[in-house]
Amino acid sequence: MSLKPIQRSAEFTEILGIIQAGRAKAFEAVNVALIETYWSIGEQLSRKVTEADWGKGIVKELADWLGKQAPDLKGFSASNLWRMKQFYETYVELPKLATLLRELSWSKHLLVLSQCKSTEEKEFYLL
């Protein structure tokens, strides 16, 4: 029986720490990219609803079209597209929260949007 694995445990733990830190950074980068994507989609939908009179029917049509064009895409149902619009419209007038938006996951944003009624309450939970 060899004692080397036990003797190397601290060194191995150090390598494991590097791996875990790298994974955390990767997850954070992906989250930032997703939030920025959802923000851009929300912005586009908000503009289309205002300027081009898009409604639920067209957004549903968009969701169906996306599903056919890219069947591997997940998370772009009509209801989620409306949430992206709500996300954008909720925070577009609150620039001081813009940097915080990228720090939360999409599921946490959905929770804040659905549970918090006032701007102050949303700000509290984002902070």
Give the tens place of pLDDT for each residue, 70-102.
999 999 999 999 999 999 998 998 887 777 888
What is the Cα–Cα distance from 86 to 96, expressed in whole angstroms? 18
Calculate the average pLDDT of the chain. Answer: 89
Share of the chain above pLDDT 90, in %: 57
Give the residue from 76, 114, 113 showing the smallest Cα distance to 91: 113
Q: Is the pLDDT of residue 3 over 60?
A: no
Give the residue from 114, 34, 31, 20 showing the smallest Cα distance to 75: 34
What is the Cα–Cα distance from 87 to 91, expressed in whole angstroms? 6
DSSP letter string over 59-125?
Answer: HHHHHHHHHHH-TT--S--HHHHHHHHHHHHHHTT-GGGHHHHTTS-HHHHHHHHHH--SHHHHHHH
Burial group, residue 97, by CB count within 10 angstroms (0-12, 13-18, 19+): middle
Q: What is the pLDDT of residue 2?
A: 54
Q: What is the pLDDT of residue 4?
A: 63
Per-residue buried b or exposed e for 61-79, using 16+ beta carbons within 10 Å of the residue's own CB: ebbeeeeeeeeeeeebebe
pLDDT greater at residue 117 or residue 21: 21
3-state secondary structure of 33: helix
Q: pTM, whole model, 2 decimals?
A: 0.82
